[in-house]
Structure 1
Amino acid sequence: MPVAPIIMGHSFGGLFTQMLADRGLGAAYVAVTPGQPAGITTLPASTIWTGTPILANPFGKRGAKPISKSHFHFTFGNDLTRAASDAIWEEYAIPSVNRVFFEGVAAAFNEKGGASHVDFGRTDRAPLLVIVGERDHVVPPAIGRAIVKKYHASGSPAVVDYREYPGRTHRIVSQDGWEEVADDALEWATRHAAS
């Protein structure tokens, strides 16, 4: 592109955002409730539980697995009544590609060779903001903080900031009040891209 873009991504998209940042393809990056890159071994119990329907069957690695209404409620609709969560499941739930989950878990323990490797110490990386939701069961704050800590511990002078939103779940981008998060992300990214 003639001008480096602002790159934002949610969940696995947040992981891909970090991978694009590692390649120097943007002017600023926002990783929203991001999957963890290779080498981040923080795996809270809620995160493990959210992946259980897929990871429980290693022979299904090449397939796609649907998620039940009850598991969807725990994973994505934990701020909603069961009825409201079920309605969202009816409208949006589709089977997930299993391979991505298996590669993500394997990479957590293989920092240098994992499929999601990033150079945490890259000195010329454009600014990165990591956003998490306080009630997220998929990428709880412990993972967001571990990601940011790894970047900071690398000694790189590149800007890496962290924001945690109270009451927000993994649906942070579609949950009531998503506009506040979107406005904050855009404001942060445009300010940092300009500098």
Structure 2
Amino acid sequence: MIGEAMTHIAFIHGLWLSHASWAPWEKFFVDEGFETSAHTWPGEASAPATARTNADSQAGRGIDDLVNHFGGLLPPRETRPIVIGHSFGGLIAQRLLAEDRVDAAVAISPAPIKGVRSLPFAQLRSALPVLSRRSNRERAVALSRRQFRYGFGNAIDREQSDRLWELWSIPSPGRPLFEVASANRDAASPAFVDTSRPDRGPLLMISAGSDHTVPAATTKAAFALYGDSSASTELHEFKGKGHSLTIDNGWRDVADDVLGWLSAKGYMG
């Protein structure tokens, strides 16, 4: 609640990263006076090493499962929580905001919502480890070190990319990718977000200029869908950063930007 109780920030990760990868962000925002949480996805083990050996527990979970899961873990509505999501976490953040379940949202390199038609080659190539096999819709899939390097670590050196893969990479369900891939052909797609709402809270979208998994053009296309809404929507771009922007050694630049935006909107810890 602005100006009264401590503001709660819920962090939501995307495919192929552990919830524990938010630990530096949690410390940063706790030090700024916020309350934070970074919960696991449904079926995700709390430790990355355990998640890697128990992939089947996440298999078959889709976007609606994720929205309901994280929506149910949010603090009470009257505390006016904020959600910060990366990749598929950014799509979930947008749905939670549009459904009036949070007070504000930050979507960092968010997975495309229904209506986004931009499909750069790099994005397609990043998704191929999952989309290349229809059976992966009901499976959990891990990225190899090389695939992680292309999808996440292309804008950092190989040594750092490999270290991040070892620390945080875990298998993730394939279903959300298939749901996004078919969103514009599905009238009831779970990737739909009501972008026209005038009465929702503020939204910050962040694009990464060198991102392969969610190229900047894809984030800009999603931002354009909000053009008919009078609600506050902003787009910030980090040129030269890749999909690892929340976990690599430049994460603090992004966190500082988010903090500045929150402060400008009146949210204080």
Partner of 1:8: 84
Return the match for 2:235 from 158, 162, 177. 162
Q: Classify 1:105/1:182 alpha carbon distance in 2 versus 1 (closer, same or farther; 3 Å).
A: same
Deviates more, 1:59-68 or 1:9-18: 59-68
> What is the alpha-carbon distance in structure 1 between the residues aligned to residue 182 and residue 266 of structure 2?
33
| Superposed displacement of residue 84, structure 1 | 3.3
Partner of 2:93: 17
Deviates more, 1:2-11 or 1:121-130: 2-11
Deviates more, 1:163-172 or 1:177-186: 177-186
Contact residue 115 and residue 222 of structure 2 kept, 8 A: no
Partner of 2:166: 90
Residue 185 of structure 2 corresponds to residue 118 of structure 1 = no
Contact residue 27 and residue 193 of structure 1 kept, 8 A: no
Residue 211 of structure 2 corresponds to residue 136 of structure 1 = yes
Return the match for 1:58 from 134, 137, 143. 134
TM-score by length of 1: 0.91
Deviations 1:4-52 (A, max 9, x none): 1122111111000000011112222111111111121211111110010
> What is the alpha-carbon distance in structure 2 between the residues aligned to residue 76 and residue 12 of structure 1?
14
Deviations 1:123-150 (A, max 9, x none): 1011111001111101111011101111
Residue 244 of structure 2 corresponds to residue 171 of structure 1 = yes
Q: Which runs of 5+ in 2 are unaligned?
A: 1-75
Partner of 2:154: 78
Aligned residue pair count? 191
Return the match for 1:181 from 254, 257, 268. 254
Partner of 2:21: none
Contact residue 29 and residue 189 of structure 1 kept, 8 A: no
Q: Secondary structure at the match of 1:161?
A: strand
Contact residue 17 and residue 30 of structure 1 kept, 8 A: yes
Alignment RMSD (CA, Å): 1.6
Residue 226 of structure 2 corresponds to residue 151 of structure 1 = yes
TM-score by length of 2: 0.67
Residue 124 of structure 2 corresponds to residue 48 of structure 1 = yes
> What is the alpha-carbon distance in structure 2 between the residues aligned to residue 27 and residue 89 of structure 1?
33
Q: Secondary structure at the match of 1:179?
A: helix
Q: Which runs of 5+ in 1 are unaligned?
A: none
Contact residue 160 and residue 248 of structure 2 kept, 8 A: no
Contact residue 126 and residue 159 of structure 1 kept, 8 A: yes
Deviates more, 1:129-138 or 1:169-178: 169-178
> What is the alpha-carbon distance in structure 2 between the residues aligned to residue 138 and residue 75 of structure 1?
5
Contact residue 168 and residue 175 of structure 1 kept, 8 A: no
